[in-house]
Amino acid sequence: MRTKLIAGNWKMNLTAGDGAGRVESFVQHAESRADVDVVVCPPYLAIPKLSEILKYSSVKLGAQDVFWMESGAYTGNVSARQLYEFCVDYCIVGHSETRGRFGKLDIPESTLGYFGETDETIKLKIQALFMYGINPILCVGETKEERDAGQTDEVIRRQLEAALEGVHPAEMHLFVAAYEPVWAIGTGDVCDSEEANRVCGMIRSWIAEKFDDDAASDVRILYGGSVKPDNAKELFGYPEIDGALVGGASLKPEDFSAIVESV
């Protein structure tokens, strides 16, 4: 049976000091649920401090992104080797925001070119994480326009195919998928639970076709997109949803604890 996974993505919020206080507030609640894996993904600058705090905790440390080269003249980037040094266990890749696909655009549209993530760079990042035994959490999902055009499944299959090209079935025990409909991220809109379950099931079926039934059975598939304490229990009641990638609610210790408890 797959262990449920709840991952908090802090995005570009909180200082290292603020983050330490938040973590200490909910660690005890998280550890009371030994049957649930809990991950915190802070900004890069908070990773060293949180690594020390979580060293003897069951709560795992994650990162929000990674660069695929191990070292070199790549100003501003962080490698899997550098994450490994601080005992990072999980890393988000291919988030819609790094792809330049925003549910709610809070920046000038003219700056979207800054977010240059491609299917190829996502694939390279996953390969780099596998080299260091770090679990990639691959985000896939459609925009509102793509959903309205009936392209949800097509878009997600294309994203999966590109990201997992060349991956060996034996590596899939590290892999986590997160279905994050772009239109639900930061907007307050939540995908209907039954539809979220259907899409997660479609992802599992694709993995079975691409790799094998064992990989499909083992891979955890999360839902992300405006997950809150008041909708988490319903989402987790569906068989294909193995947890959540939580954004804004993960910044509030009481809300994040409530989501963990709702599993």
Catalytic annotation, residues: 95, 180
What phi and psi, each to the nearest 5 degrees, are found at residue 36? -130, 135
Q: Which residues contact 236 (CB under 8 A, 6 or more apart)?
A: 4, 243, 244, 262, 263
Beta bridge partners of 25: none
